[in-house]
Amino acid sequence: MLYIATGAAAAVGAAATAWPFISQMNPDAATIAAGAPVEVDLKAIPEGGIMTVKWRGNPIFVRHRTAKEIKEAQDVNLGTLRDPEPDAKRVKKPEWLVVVGVCTHLGCVPLGAPGQRGEYDGWFCPCHGSQFDTSGRIRQGPAPSNLVVPNYVFNGDTRLTVG
């Protein structure tokens, strides 16, 4: 009984001592503070264009979608999607799509320049071939889920804050 009590106390002590050594690996206060929201000027993005802004070290894609791209995103049969999500739930205004530009497979930045957007007019990841549509949803390739939609708010008609 005494042995068990002593051993249990030692185990609790060891775990408590180990905690700072593990916890120090998580993001520090400066890193978290540097991840403050960023503002985007929407007037700088022409229709059909994509602007990349950096937030928390990762690229954020702000895409000014054309009428054709919006229609493509809305007309998809959700039953055929790996990660079914209607386009309406991924955007606040149909012409603006905001996604984190990090492939949900292994973290590469998908290509979005005209001609590099893959078969679904969205993005093509050069690392392992994942293809995303005009709503940033996974359509083909190894990525398990859609491009993440970050928190963002519109400040009037021409400005957007991400984060």
Partner 1 sequence: MSGPSTYVPKSALGRWFESRLPVMGLVHSSFIAYPTPRNLNYFWTFGAILSFMLGAQIVTGIVLAMHYTPHTAFAFASVEHIMRDVNWGWFLRYAHANGASMFFVAVYIHMFRGLYYGSYKAPREVLWILGVIIFLLMMATAFMGYVLPWGQMSFWGAKVITSLFSAIPFVGDSITTLLWGGFTVDNPTLNRFFSLHYLLPFMIAGVVVLHVWALHVVGQNNPAGVEIKNVQRDAVPFTPYATIKDSFAVVVFTIVFCWFIFYVPNYLGHSDNYIEANPLVTPSHIVPEWYFLPFYAILRAIPSKLGGVLAMFGSIAILAFLPWLDTSKVRSGAFRPVFKVLFWVFVVVCCGLGYLGAMPAEGGYVIASRILTLLYFLFFLSLPFIGWFETTKPVPATIADAVLAKSGGSVALAGAAHEKP
Q: What share of the chain is helix, strand, coil (3-state, %, to 5)?
A: 30, 25, 45
| 136/119 Cα distance (integer angstroms) | 13
Among 7, 37, 48, 144, binds partner 1 (CB under 8 A): 144
Which x/- pattern over 25-64 shows residues binding partner 1 (rule: CB under 8 A)?
Answer: xxxx--x---x----------------x-x-xxxx-----
Q: Is 128 a catalytic residue?
A: yes
Among 74, 94, 142, 154, binds partner 1 (CB under 8 A): 142
Q: Does 128 bind partner 1 (CB under 8 A)?
A: yes
Task: Note whether 42 and 158 are within 8 A (CB).
Answer: yes
Q: Would you list the DSSP string of 30-64?
A: HHHHTT--EEEEGGGS-TT-EEEEEETTEEEEEEE
| Catalytic one of 128, 129, 145, 159 | 128
Q: Does 18 bind partner 1 (CB under 8 A)?
A: no
Alpha-carbon 108 to chain mean position: 11
Helix/strand/coil for 8? helix
Q: Does 66 bind partner 1 (CB under 8 A)?
A: no
Interface residue list for partner 1 (CB under 8 A): 22, 25-28, 31, 35, 52, 54, 56-59, 101-102, 105-109, 111, 125-129, 142-144
Catalytic residues, by residue number, are 128
